[in-house]
Structure 1
């Protein structure tokens, strides 16, 4: 339990630092999704859903762009999503690594 509390404290502290970057990615992905949704004639919710399914590389395929411009924007959404995920994973790994060093001070890195 102690390790978990240390990890959560470090994680949320680091997320506070990375918040502006993650929020920027979130907003850009959302806006691009709405733009694609407008071109494709989707509802606002469907456009939001599609943008994050694409950005997080899940890609169910239930909604997909058919216009050339929206397909190009889909590439941009996917690229931004990879960066968004990368920042989130990097913060998580850094917090876990630091928590291990706090919890087990004499331990060597793997």
Structure 2
């Protein structure tokens, strides 16, 4: 099998990802700021260190949930739920960008053959 088409698809994929991330960057950056801000609020409410709150925000937002930091206050729990929804949307946007970039890369390289 010839590796030239694979490297061409890879190159086109990364170009398309870069293009679509530039388009979606305002949404991405807002969602990242929300994760950090809500994490800091939860840290304040729970009496955690700020870094622990940011860590909790990303672990919860990306739906990893290790479980070593658990919010006890009702406000923190509600904010953690909102972080989960925010993280699911963030992941969905990134997945959509990746799928679109694959489609575009295959279409461009497939059209060259």
Q: CA RMSD in A?
A: 1.3
Greater Cα radius of gyration, structure 1 or 2:
2
Residue 30, structure 1, aligned to residue 18, structure 2:
no
Task: Name whichever structure is richer in helix by fraction.
Answer: 2
TM norm structure 1: 0.93
The SS at the match of 1:66 is: coil
Between the aligned partners of 2:48 and 2:102, the Cα distance in structure 1 is 40
TM norm structure 2: 0.91
Between the aligned partners of 1:37 and 1:86, the Cα distance in structure 2 is 26
Determine which of 62, 66, 72 is the counterpart of 1:60: 66
Unaligned runs of 5+ in 2: 1-6
Residue 86, structure 1, aligned to residue 96, structure 2:
no
The SS at the match of 2:37 is: helix
> May I ask how many residue pairs the two structures share in their alignment?
107
Between the aligned partners of 1:101 and 1:44, the Cα distance in structure 2 is 46
